[in-house]
Each structure stands twice: as C-alpha cells, then as structure tokens.
Amino acid sequence: MPTIILPPSEVTDLHGILASSIGALLIGGFFSICLFGANSLQTWYYYQHYPTDAVLMKATVAFVWILEAVHAIFLCHAIYSYVVLGFGNVLMLDSPIW
C-alpha cells in the first residue's frame, strides 16, 4: 500500500474520523462477543437439561450456535485487520475486509 502524507490540519480531522469509526467497531465487537458467551452458556444449559428433545430442535440449537461462532470469528478477524494490520492506514477503512 502506498504511504500518504497529509497536511497537519487534515490529520487532526482524520483522527476524529478514525477514533469514531474504529471505536464503534470495537465497542460493537465487545458487546457481540459478550452475547456470544451468553449464547454459548444457554446452548450448554439446553443440552444438559433437555436431552430428550427432538433431533430437529437439537440440530436447530447447534446450527444457531455455529452461526454465532462463525460470526464471532469473522468479527475478531475484521477488528484485528483494521486495528493491528491497518494501523495508521486510513485507506483501509474505505474498503471492507472481504
């Protein structure tokens, strides 16, 4: 990626934009990961306390948990890409990770 040098006035404007967009991503990611933990706990509780439920119900619970796990993995990858790999690279915010 090419390095872009900005005048000082644009750097301070850019700092506010970066802080708000990356901050929103981090806060949303933290809440999402916490909710994934709650989902995991509920899934574990379900399988421990309802072993006689229908196979379709058990498969649905497993499918929802797997989808949430994949979402958490993609979210962590996106946050890592923007915050660590793209540190200081403003152009990286213009395009999605995938």
Q: Walk along the chain (98 residues) and give the pLDDT tens digit of each residue.
A: 555 555 555 555 666 666 677 888 899 999 999 999 999 999 999 999 999 999 999 999 999 999 999 999 999 999 998 888 887 777 777 777 87
What does each C-alpha distance from 57 to 15, 62, 84 come to in angstroms?
Answer: 49, 9, 40
Euclidean distance between CA atoms 78 and 12, whole angstroms? 25
* pTM recorded for the entire structure: 0.75
Domain ranges of the chain: 34-98
